[in-house]
Amino acid sequence: MANETGGISRRALLGSGGLAALGTALVGCAPVDRVAPDPVAEEPRPVSPTGEHQAGIARPAAAQPHMLLGVYDLDGDSAAVLAALGDSILSLTSGEHPVLAGIAPGDLTVTVGVGPRLVQQARAGGVGTEPLPAYPREEIDERHRGGDLVIQVCASDPLVPPLALAGVIDGVTALSERWRQRGARGPSVAVRGGHSAPRNVLGFVDGIAAPVSEEELAQSVWIGDGPLASASILVVRRMEIDLAAFRRLSIDAQERVVGRERASSAPLSGGSIGDDVDLQAKSPEGAYVIPVDAHVRRAHPRPAGVPLMLRRSYSMDEPLGLLFVSYQAELRTFTQTMERMSESDALLDFTRTTATGAFLALPGFDAQHPLGSTIFGRA
């Protein structure tokens, strides 16, 4: 028996014929089986934490497989807390923070957003001061609605997000946690123009329609001017899904609920995964090919009169469901879409939302311009 370095194991030496095997190996009369070492996984490319926009929104283009998201209340100096968080992010992503204990940060990104109460204190009545309204199919207590601060941590290495989140908030006594949630994404499917999206726990590709180009991102995701320029509105919703009930449907019925083919992700109106859905397509009998209550119809931005939102959602296993995360330049992009979905979206019949909040994802920062300083001033 050969060990992983190609030598003879102690068990083989002590067993029947062990000495003979040793002698054969020493004189080279017979080859010794060698176990090939496991291939070393390629290290993910680092993502710079600095720039015009925070990392973890539009970059990396394909979201990392693992996310940990935490929501907090803040009792203290907002500018000082945000500046401290930014310093920790710089230290973590450079691999210098001691909490990583020699673990490479890889493609770690940390994205910070502030809630309406804090934005109202800094800029009364402006963008980011509006909380999310309540919607049907919600079971949300006070602790899980809103909050002062959200921290989204993403990485390819599943060990990195919990360590990085601990490093970000370590010693920041002004923060008290409301809730946190882990999520994961499977392999992504190519959609169009370099955009890709993963399947969710329902088995359907999630996040197909998305802004891709710089022009689309500028129109849909980034706040355009003023002190909030380069910021974005972050919406998070923790949605539990009755997967057992959904799986009891036939594949055909599941596809009518979603409005896409499950295997190919092509719209029921025809084409391929990257093609826009044809909401006017009808069968020879005059019925809409995409049902009136199908998710892709109710969530489509055109009837809602809003731009595309950038979704970076993750599937959950505890509880089973979806951690919905979207970025948009205006909150109405989400609220008007949600109003249409709440009227008649067959997919929502299988969900209940247990946590939610809207936050202002802060503009980008660097060592000379602290996180949040354009809005809250310098600490």
- For 204-266, give the DSSP string: SB---S---SHHHHHHHTS--SSTTTT-EEEEEEEEEE-HHHHHTS-HHHHHHHHTB-TTT--
pLDDT number for residue 325: 98
Q: Is the pTM of this model over 0.85?
A: yes
Q: How confident is the model at residue 323 (pLDDT cuts 50, 70, 90)?
A: very high
pLDDT number for residue 125: 87
Is residue 251 pLDDT above 90, yes or no? yes
Q: How confident is the model at residue 155 (pLDDT cuts 50, 70, 90)?
A: very high
pLDDT number for residue 355: 98
Q: How confident is the model at residue 9 (pLDDT cuts 50, 70, 90)?
A: very low
pLDDT number for residue 153: 99
pLDDT number for residue 3: 41
pLDDT number for residue 16: 39
Is residue 24 pLDDT above 70, yes or no? no
Averaged pLDDT of the chain: 91
CA 218 to CA 223: how far, in whole Å? 8
Phi, psi of 203 (to 5 degrees): 95, 0
pLDDT number for residue 31: 43
Provide the greatest CA pair distance for the chain.
Answer: 86
Residue 337, CA distances (Å) to 15, 216, 331 in order: 70, 18, 10
Query: Around Cβ 96, how many Cβ atoms within 10 Å?
Result: 10
CA 311 to CA 183: how far, in whole Å? 14
Query: Around Cβ 77, how many Cβ atoms within 10 Å?
Result: 14
Nearest to 334 by CA among 235, 206, 204, 210: 235
Phi, psi of 189 (to 5 degrees): -110, 135
pLDDT number for residue 293: 98
Per residue in 344-366, pLDDT (tens digit) is 999 999 999 999 999 999 999 99
Per residue in 264-322, pLDDT (tens digit) is 999 999 999 999 999 999 999 999 999 999 999 999 999 999 999 999 999 999 999 99
Segment 180-204 mean pLDDT: 95
Q: Does residue 148 sit in helix, strand or coil?
A: coil
Which DSSP state fits 377?
A: -
pLDDT number for residue 43: 85
- Percent of the chain residues topping a pLDDT of 90: 85
Is residue 100 pLDDT above 50, yes or no? yes
pLDDT number for residue 12: 39
